[in-house]
Amino acid sequence: MEVKSTSQRSAEDGSEVQQGSLWGASNLLSIARLLMTLPTCLLVYYGHRDLAVISFFVAAFTDYLDGWVARRFNQISDLGKILDPLADKVYVAGVVILLATLGVIPLWFLLPILLRDLLILVGGIYVERKTGEVLPSNWTGKWAVGVLSITLLLFYLEVNGIALQIFIVITLAMLSLSLFLYVKRAYAHLQSL
């Protein structure tokens, strides 16, 4: 699967960054995850727990798979660097807002999730406007979303006790760490210009 592009440059990991290329398989996986937000929320809202859990797992798998496909088939693109985290943020925001509205998760848990995503979104737009470059997501952001997904699943399946408490603490720590490292990286990137 080759991505046609008129312009390329080197990414941080040494691979080529494609410009454009909406129809690459990795971008289509991100778009699919983005489009899964509404069906997942409807499944949760109408109490189709088994199908909602399957939808959670499919979304998580597409999140892993889109990055792997992009690297494996040299489909890393600026568009993909936007689509992947955007799909994550829209999917997570849709699910957490619905779960909070339904009383499944507490408001105090919702707020740091939304605040972190909003700060990263605004920061990413600022960096792109100043530099013309899109900062890709990093491993801490991916791990934070992964741990958050497990925590949301535990809340949704009404798993209480120490397991849930541990995952809440880990989730909040990972969200904080990923925000800190993103801000640090954005600042360093801006200073290097």
Look at residue 63 in the predicted model and tell me its pLDDT. Answer: 87
Rounded Cα distance between 98 and 155, Å, is 12
Look at residue 73 in the predicted model and tell me its pLDDT. Answer: 87
Look at residue 162 in the predicted model and tell me its pLDDT. Answer: 96
Tell me the domain boundaries of the chain. Answer: 8-191
Look at residue 179 in the predicted model and tell me its pLDDT. Answer: 96
Rounded Cα distance between 96 and 119, Å, is 17
Centre a 10 Å sphere on the Cβ of residue 131 and count the other Cβ atoms it contains.
14
Return the biggest CA–CA distance within the chain.
Answer: 55
Look at residue 3 in the predicted model and tell me its pLDDT. Answer: 38
- Cross-strand partners of 9: 17
Of the candidates 39, 34, 31, the one whose C-alpha atom is nearest the C-alpha of residue 55 is: 39
What sign results for the dihedral spanned by CA atoms 141, 142, 147, 149? positive
Look at residue 136 in the predicted model and tell me its pLDDT. Answer: 81
Q: What is the pLDDT along the chain (193 residues), one digit of tens a residue?
A: 333 343 444 454 444 445 556 788 899 999 999 999 999 999 999 999 999 999 999 999 998 898 888 889 888 888 888 898 899 999 999 999 999 999 999 999 999 999 999 999 999 999 999 998 888 888 898 899 999 999 999 999 999 999 999 999 999 999 999 999 999 999 999 998 8
**pTM, two decimal places:** 0.83
Look at residue 102 in the predicted model and tell me its pLDDT. Answer: 97
Look at residue 21 in the predicted model and tell me its pLDDT. Answer: 62
Which secondary-structure segment (H or E) carries 19? none
Fold of 8-191: Four Helix Bundle (Hemerythrin (Met), subunit A) (1.20.120)
